[in-house]
Amino acid sequence: MRFGINTFLFTFPFTNQSVAFFPLFKQWGFDSVEIAIDDPDVLDIPLIRSELDKNELVCGSICGVFGPDRDLRGTAEEQQNSLKYIQKVIRQMKILGCNTFAGPMYSSVGRANAETPENYALQWKLVRSHLKSLATIAENSGVILAIEPLNRFETDFINTVDQAITMAKEVGSDSLKIHLDSFHMNIEEKNQHDAILRVGHYLGHFHACGSDRGTPGGDSIDWQSIKKALRTINYKGDVVIESFTQDVKAIARAAAIWRNIEPSNKDIAIKGISFLRNTFV
This prediction's pTM: 0.97
Q: What share of the chain is helix, strand, coil (3-state, %, to 5)?
A: 50, 15, 35
Closest CA to 150 of 118, 182, 123: 182
Longest dimension (CA), the chain: 52
Residue 251 has a pLDDT of 86
Closest CA to 208 of 234, 231, 186, 176: 186
Q: Are 60 and 240 in contact (CB under 8 A)?
A: yes
Residue 250 has a pLDDT of 85
Q: How confident is the model at residue 246 (pLDDT cuts 50, 70, 90)?
A: confident
Candidate list 148, 154, 188, 262, residue with the active-site label = 148
Q: How confident is the model at residue 69 (pLDDT cuts 50, 70, 90)?
A: very high
Buried b (16+ CB within 10 A) or exposed e, 197-208: bbbeebbbbbbb
At 17-66, the pLDDT tens digits run 999 999 999 999 999 999 999 999 999 999 999 999 999 999 999 999 99
Among this protein's residues, is 148 annotated catalytic? Answer: yes
**Across the chain, where does the E strand assignment appear?**
3-6, 32-37, 58-64, 100-103, 144-147, 176-181, 203-208, 239-241
> Does 75 score more than 90 pLDDT?
yes
% residues pLDDT > 70 (the chain):
100
Rounded to the nearest angstrom, the gap between the alpha carbon of residue 120 and the centroid of all alpha carbons in its chain is 23
Distance CA 36, CA 43 (A): 12
Candidate list 51, 78, 242, 262, residue with the active-site label = 242
Residues 182-203 have a mean pLDDT of: 98
At 141-172, the pLDDT tens digits run 999 999 999 999 999 999 999 999 999 999 99
Closest CA to 270 of 23, 19, 25: 25
Q: How confident is the model at residue 257 (pLDDT cuts 50, 70, 90)?
A: confident
At 203-239, the pLDDT tens digits run 999 999 999 999 999 899 999 999 999 999 999 999 9
Residue 281 has a pLDDT of 87
The DSSP H or E segment spanning 23 is helix 22-28
The DSSP bridge partners found for residue 101 are 62, 145
Distance CA 281, CA 276 (A): 8
Task: Give the CATH architecture of domain 3-280.
Answer: Alpha-Beta Barrel (3.20)
* Residue 34, CA distances (Å) to 8, 72, 146, 153, 173 in order: 9, 23, 13, 24, 24
Residue 126 has a pLDDT of 98
> Does 254 score more than 90 pLDDT?
no
Residue 182 has a pLDDT of 98
Cβ-Cβ contacts under 8 Å for 243 (sequence gap 6 or more) = 9, 209, 210, 213, 214, 215, 216, 261, 262, 268, 272
Residue 218 has a pLDDT of 85
Q: Are 171 and 158 in contact (CB under 8 A)?
A: no
Residue 130 has a pLDDT of 98
Number of H helices, E strands in the chain: 10, 8
Distance CA 253, CA 274 (A): 28
